[in-house]
Structure 1
Amino acid sequence: MPKPRILVLGAGPAGAAVALGLRRLGYEVCVVSEWRRFAALEGVSQRVLDGLRHAGLTRALASAAAPSPRRVDWNGASQVLNQEFLLDRPRFDAALRDDLRAAGVELIEARVRQIDSGADGHRVALESGATLTADFLVEARGRQAPLAGGRRRGPETLSLLNRWQQAPGPAASAVESLVDGWAWMARLADGRCYWQLTLDAANAELPGKEQLAAYCAQRRSQSALVQELFGAAALQASELHARSSTAILFHEASGTNWLRVGDAAMAVDPLSGNGIFQSLSSALQAPAVINTLLRHPERGELARHFHQQRVEQLFLRFARTGRDFYALEQRWNEQPFWRERRHWPDSAPMHAAADFSQVHVVRAPVICGDAIDEAEVVVTADQPLGIWHVQGVAVAPLVRALQGGAGLDRALRDLPPAQQAMLRAWLVSQGYRE
């Protein structure tokens, strides 16, 4: 049986993670990507670096700058909260491509002009005139991916990214809330500076395209934090790139021979959580989903259900994180920007209270080795998709035994002492009381 040829569109974190995972499974993978059209900077957390390491993106991981302090001015209070790692996107994107080449992934730097898809495969026409064919297609072009199919959209949001150069100095970043939005800003040690203003897309004060750079400079002049972090260089009009940062969830993130990952499956508000983290989160599961669709088609619907469930759950988790952070700003509750975002996407709590009486066992799709299969999982208030294992121990048999009337000592008696202690602690965290 010939090996299926897989085409990945996009060489960002999601596309690169999927391509490397598929190569490890022995698939022929070709990645098609054009370079980002603007220079950008992103601040990421340690969990993003852990995700890059887990995906095998070691060169991309090494491109992250050393951690720098992050200041937060929110709801009238100012504090330094943790640190963040600044990622220079041009350098990071080049490192992602180096990781792909090192793994033997074919990489074509080109822009896609047209895609014709059918049950028998895909034909991708490039702007160069070349045509590629594939048995399976992975859409990983982020927000640039075609917006086909039904989707859920959050409040329409616009981000204006400004960039300029000044004298070298200590790296740092900050975020501040404003009456009609918020701004994130950062300075690299080599003097490159970034400031991004995020507003409602319908903001009546936004000028025309030609005046946006001057408008942003004027907004920076009103910020004591900007002047403290950057100095006078920040008060001049600078290079600007406008982009949508509206949260989007696609209702259909897969088909029998295609899959959406990263921002192409769900894109979050930049305040909701780090975009690279959510991209990696959806991409790391994708190789098992694709392998199931190609090698175990009888479990295809199960695999697609698994992918869609987890994309939707990630989206809601990030959206609620953003909602709760927006709600912390109390000074401008009635301003349209804040009023709309403090209640979206719903009123469900970010974390539900533990209640062991509501814990139950169901059969659900899980990652089993290199494919998606079905197993008994434990559904809890905080884990609606279910938990299969806790540190390698299947927990459904334990919960069934306890709900059947067995005492805890009896239910755990065949396990080593260390595992018994670990499971007792897990049960307590789920609200269990003997």
Structure 2
Amino acid sequence: MSRARVVVLGAGPAGATVALGLQRLGYQVCVVSEWRRFAAVEGVSQRVLDGLRQAGLLRALACAAAPSPRRVAWNGARQLLNQEFLLDRRRFDAALREDLRAAGVELIEARVRQVDSTAHGHRLSIEPGATLLADFLVEARGRQAPLAGRRWRGPETLSLLNHWQEAAGQPASAVESRADGWAWMARLADGRCYWQLTLDAASAELPGKEQLAAYCAERRGQSALARELFGAQALQPVSLYARSSTATLFHEAGGANWLRVGDAAMAVDPLSGNGIFQSLSSALQAPAVINTLLSQPQFGELALRFHQARVEHLFRRFARTGRDFYALEQRWPQQPFWRSRSGWPDSEPLHAGADFSQLRVERAPVLRGALIDEAEVVVTADQPLGIWHLQGLELAPIVRSLQQGQLDQALAALPVEHKRMVQGWLLAQGYKP
């Protein structure tokens, strides 16, 4: 038997980010992961690449192809909307492992058969019969992670991923709405092609498993975008992988000696286009949360509150992003797929308008160096978790001075550039001198 202080389950972007962050803090870390079971490609934004760079995943970052235009056919209109970087997930996953090995993180490529947990630690049974002990466990196996625990689920969603090989050509991607769902498609420069159809799991009228590949080929043949993007091979049945893509949020993302990160904590609707970004967002904060739980357990409840609040905040932001894009499609409002998604998760706006009357100062958990601490933050209509610093300047004392009628004195003590920055921020919040 071997023993690791922290064991991370999963070597995707979330698991790799947590492992590297913990190792920098001096923890003994072991990552246990099996390979992805299917070939896939993802389109990501510049902020995903920025997140990979911040996490130190430079080999994984280098896997991103040059930006390519994304065609969008939605609500009867067609346009070129932004650009996205295409990631071959098998190459990307291999590069994540290279980043871990290069940093000296122990990596075990194996399937976890069973996890037995107590308040004193965790005992993992991994193939082909080995045992691993951990003081702290990080669950980062994405949507495939065991689903024990209470969770909030969005409309049940099914995605059918198809892939095949064509001749090399110009990389491109596209998304289009259909009466019963939507399809995302991409081709890489080496001719690998991907097409994914996303449907409502409850209302989709699908044939049996043996006919699914032919069904998808027929659906591609009905798409003008697919005929433009792909060659004749797209009209034939090809390799297919079916998976759930239901949005999921766990009500409890951590405990005294365990933490969920990435898709294992919350998995968003793929239409939001933020899967890897949200994984990185929750994982970048996790090392400080874990460090607090292990080194300063008296602040453990504060650290868990910090992690849970940010996981839930991200989930709702991404869910509302998807909702608003679904709502733009007006041709089939009574179809079950569109009816259930254009109003979920709620009717709250994605971004709340500025409202100076809602500004208030509260004590809340904050990230201070490599630990979670508590400080006074300024809560706004659009930032319910609160803002601690504005480019290094604490905001709470400024807002308190304003509320006490002493803003001029507080601003007079600041350098000119800070004074202008604070004045601009207050005006953006609806403040009227």
Same fold (TM over 0.5): yes
Secondary structure of 1:135's aligned partner: strand
How far apart in 1 are the matches of 2:258 and 2:389?
29
TM-score, normalising length from structure 2? Answer: 0.98
Secondary structure of 1:285's aligned partner: helix
1:219 and 2:219 matched: yes
1:29-75 CA deviation, whole Å, 9 max, x = no partner?
Answer: 00000000111000000000000000010000001111111011100
TM-score, normalising length from structure 1? Answer: 0.98
Q: CA deviation at 1:204?
A: 4.0
Determine if contact 1:33/1:109 at 8 Å carries over to the other structure. Answer: yes
Q: Could you tell me which residue of structure 2 aligns to residue 416 of structure 1?
A: 415
1:87-135 CA deviation, whole Å, 9 max, x = no partner?
Answer: 0000000000010011110000000000000011000000210000010
1:266 and 2:266 matched: yes
How far apart in 1 are the matches of 2:424 and 2:4?
45
Q: Could you tell me which residue of structure 2 aligns to residue 138 of structure 1?
A: 138
Secondary structure of 1:85's aligned partner: strand
1:234-280 CA deviation, whole Å, 9 max, x = no partner?
Answer: 11110000000000000000010000000000000101232000000
Unpaired segments of 5 or more residues in structure 1?
none
- In the TM superposition, structure 1's runs of 4+ consecutive aligned residues that sit over 3 Å from their partners are none
1:344-363 CA deviation, whole Å, 9 max, x = no partner?
Answer: 00001111110111100000
Q: Could you tell me which residue of structure 2 aligns to residue 362 of structure 1?
A: 362
How far apart in 1 are the matches of 2:278 and 2:99?
20
Determine if contact 1:69/1:172 at 8 Å carries over to the other structure. Answer: yes
Q: CA deviation at 1:420?
A: 1.3
Determine if contact 1:4/1:27 at 8 Å carries over to the other structure. Answer: no
Secondary structure of 2:237's aligned partner: coil
How far apart in 2 are the matches of 1:216 and 1:104?
44
Secondary structure of 1:30's aligned partner: strand
Written as runs of structure 1 = structure 2, the 5 A alignment for 1:193-208 is 193-208=193-208
Q: Could you tell me which residue of structure 1 aligns to residue 165 of structure 2?
A: 165
Determine if contact 1:14/1:262 at 8 Å carries over to the other structure. Answer: yes
Determine if contact 2:44/2:273 at 8 Å carries over to the other structure. Answer: no
Q: Could you tell me which residue of structure 1 aligns to residue 231 of structure 2?
A: 231
Determine if contact 1:273/1:321 at 8 Å carries over to the other structure. Answer: no
Determine if contact 2:7/2:138 at 8 Å carries over to the other structure. Answer: yes
How far apart in 1 are the matches of 2:126 and 2:431?
58
Aligned residues: 431
How far apart in 1 are the matches of 2:73 and 2:423?
41
Unpaired segments of 5 or more residues in structure 2?
none
**AA of the residue aligned to 1:295:** S
Q: CA deviation at 1:423?
A: 1.3
Written as runs of structure 1 = structure 2, the 5 A alignment for 1:11-410 is 11-407=11-407, 409-410=408-409
Determine if contact 1:150/1:252 at 8 Å carries over to the other structure. Answer: yes
**AA of the residue aligned to 1:56:** G
Q: CA deviation at 1:233?
A: 1.7
**AA of the residue aligned to 2:391:** Q
RMSD value over aligned CA atoms? 0.9
State the identity as a percent: 78
Q: CA deviation at 1:223?
A: 0.4
Q: CA deviation at 1:4?
A: 7.2
**AA of the residue aligned to 1:428:** L
How far apart in 2 are the matches of 1:39 and 1:413?
60
**AA of the residue aligned to 2:242:** A
Q: CA deviation at 1:430?
A: 1.1
How far apart in 1 are the matches of 2:139 and 2:374?
26
Determine if contact 2:162/2:238 at 8 Å carries over to the other structure. Answer: yes
Secondary structure of 2:195's aligned partner: strand
Secondary structure of 2:272's aligned partner: coil
How far apart in 2 are the matches of 1:48 and 1:235?
33
How far apart in 2 are the matches of 1:209 and 1:263?
27
How far apart in 1 are the matches of 2:207 and 2:269?
23
Determine if contact 1:8/1:29 at 8 Å carries over to the other structure. Answer: yes
Q: CA deviation at 1:429?
A: 1.4
How far apart in 1 are the matches of 2:346 and 2:138?
30
CA, structure 1 residues 79+204, in 2 after alignment: closer, same or farther (shift >3 Å)?
A: closer
